[in-house]
Protein backbone atom coordinates (compact mmCIF):
# COMPACT_ATOMS: atom_id res chain seq x y z
CA UNK A 1 0.00 0.00 0.00
CA UNK A 2 1.30 3.44 -0.94
CA UNK A 3 1.93 5.94 1.85
CA UNK A 4 -0.34 8.95 1.50
CA UNK A 5 1.60 12.16 1.06
CA UNK A 6 0.18 15.27 2.68
CA UNK A 7 0.94 17.91 0.10
CA UNK A 8 -1.01 20.84 -1.23
CA UNK A 9 -0.41 24.24 -2.76
CA UNK A 10 -1.22 27.64 -1.38
CA UNK A 11 -0.55 31.26 -2.24
CA UNK A 12 2.21 33.13 -0.50
CA UNK A 13 -0.24 35.72 0.86
CA UNK A 14 -2.62 33.25 2.55
CA UNK A 15 -1.91 33.27 6.30
CA UNK A 16 -3.89 30.06 6.99
CA UNK A 17 -2.88 26.41 6.72
CA UNK A 18 -4.83 24.26 4.29
CA UNK A 19 -4.15 21.34 6.64
CA UNK A 20 -5.06 22.67 10.07
CA UNK A 21 -7.23 25.68 9.21
CA UNK A 22 -8.90 24.51 6.02
CA UNK A 23 -12.14 26.49 6.33
CA UNK A 24 -10.31 29.76 7.02
CA UNK A 25 -7.71 28.95 4.34
CA UNK A 26 -10.45 28.29 1.75
CA UNK A 27 -12.42 31.39 2.74
CA UNK A 28 -9.31 33.56 2.30
CA UNK A 29 -8.45 31.83 -0.98
CA UNK A 30 -11.91 32.37 -2.48
CA UNK A 31 -12.34 35.91 -1.07
CA UNK A 32 -9.07 36.91 -2.75
CA UNK A 33 -10.12 35.17 -5.98
CA UNK A 34 -7.15 32.79 -6.04
CA UNK A 35 -9.48 29.79 -6.45
CA UNK A 36 -6.71 27.27 -5.81
CA UNK A 37 -8.99 24.22 -5.61
CA UNK A 38 -10.70 25.17 -8.87
CA UNK A 39 -7.37 25.67 -10.62
CA UNK A 40 -6.21 22.21 -9.60
CA UNK A 41 -9.55 20.57 -10.43
CA UNK A 42 -9.62 22.06 -13.93
CA UNK A 43 -6.21 20.55 -14.68
CA UNK A 44 -6.63 17.13 -13.05
CA UNK A 45 -8.79 14.92 -15.23
CA UNK A 46 -9.85 12.41 -12.61
CA UNK A 47 -11.78 9.25 -13.27
CA UNK A 48 -13.30 6.78 -10.80
CA UNK A 49 -14.02 4.25 -13.51
CA UNK A 50 -10.73 3.92 -15.36
CA UNK A 51 -7.91 4.96 -13.04
CA UNK A 52 -6.56 3.66 -9.76
CA UNK A 53 -6.40 5.89 -6.68
CA UNK A 54 -2.63 6.15 -7.22
CA UNK A 55 -3.14 7.30 -10.81
CA UNK A 56 -5.73 9.88 -9.74
CA UNK A 57 -3.35 11.14 -7.02
CA UNK A 58 -0.61 11.46 -9.64
CA UNK A 59 -2.94 13.55 -11.83
CA UNK A 60 -3.64 15.87 -8.89
CA UNK A 61 0.11 16.19 -8.27
CA UNK A 62 0.74 17.04 -11.91
CA UNK A 63 -2.07 19.61 -11.81
CA UNK A 64 -0.57 21.23 -8.68
CA UNK A 65 2.86 21.31 -10.34
CA UNK A 66 1.32 23.07 -13.33
CA UNK A 67 -0.32 25.73 -11.15
CA UNK A 68 2.91 26.35 -9.21
CA UNK A 69 4.90 26.58 -12.43
CA UNK A 70 2.59 28.70 -14.60
CA UNK A 71 -0.03 30.60 -12.59
CA UNK A 72 0.13 33.88 -10.74
CA UNK A 73 -2.28 36.53 -9.50
CA UNK A 74 -1.77 40.24 -9.03
CA UNK A 75 -2.95 41.89 -5.81
CA UNK A 76 -5.42 44.54 -6.95
CA UNK A 77 -4.50 46.90 -4.11
CA UNK A 78 -0.70 46.66 -4.15
CA UNK A 79 0.06 45.35 -7.62
CA UNK A 80 2.22 42.62 -6.04
CA UNK A 81 2.54 39.39 -7.99
CA UNK A 82 1.27 36.46 -5.92
CA UNK A 83 2.49 32.95 -6.68
CA UNK A 84 1.63 29.47 -5.47
CA UNK A 85 4.01 27.12 -3.70
CA UNK A 86 3.92 23.60 -2.27
CA UNK A 87 3.26 23.16 1.43
CA UNK A 88 3.03 20.29 3.87
CA UNK A 89 1.70 20.06 7.42
CA UNK A 90 5.33 20.41 8.56
CA UNK A 91 6.07 23.47 6.43
CA UNK A 92 8.15 26.09 8.13
CA UNK A 93 5.67 28.88 7.37
CA UNK A 94 4.32 30.19 10.67
CA UNK A 95 0.59 29.61 10.56
| Structure confidence at residue 1 (pLDDT) | 41
In angstroms, rounded to a whole number, what is the distance separating the alpha carbons of residues 7 and 90? 10
Among 82, 34, 86, smallest CA distance to 60 is for 86
- Alpha-carbon distance of 33 to 81, in angstroms, equals 13
**Taking 80 as the threshold, does the pLDDT of residue 5 lie above it?**
no
Q: Kindly report, residue by residue over 11-50, the tens digit of the pLDDT.
A: 999 999 999 999 999 999 999 999 999 999 999 887 667 8
- Share the mean pLDDT of the chain: 86
Q: Where are the domains of the chain?
A: 25-71
Which of 6, 12, 7, 8 is closest to 84 using CA atoms? 12
Q: Please indicate, yes or no, whether the overall pTM of this predicted structure exceeds 0.85.
A: no
Beta-carbon contacts of 32 under 8 Å, excluding residues fewer than 6 positions away, are 11, 13, 14, 73
Amino acid sequence: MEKELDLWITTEDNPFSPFTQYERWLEYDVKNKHMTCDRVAKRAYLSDANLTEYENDRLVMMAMEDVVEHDFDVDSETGKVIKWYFCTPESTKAW
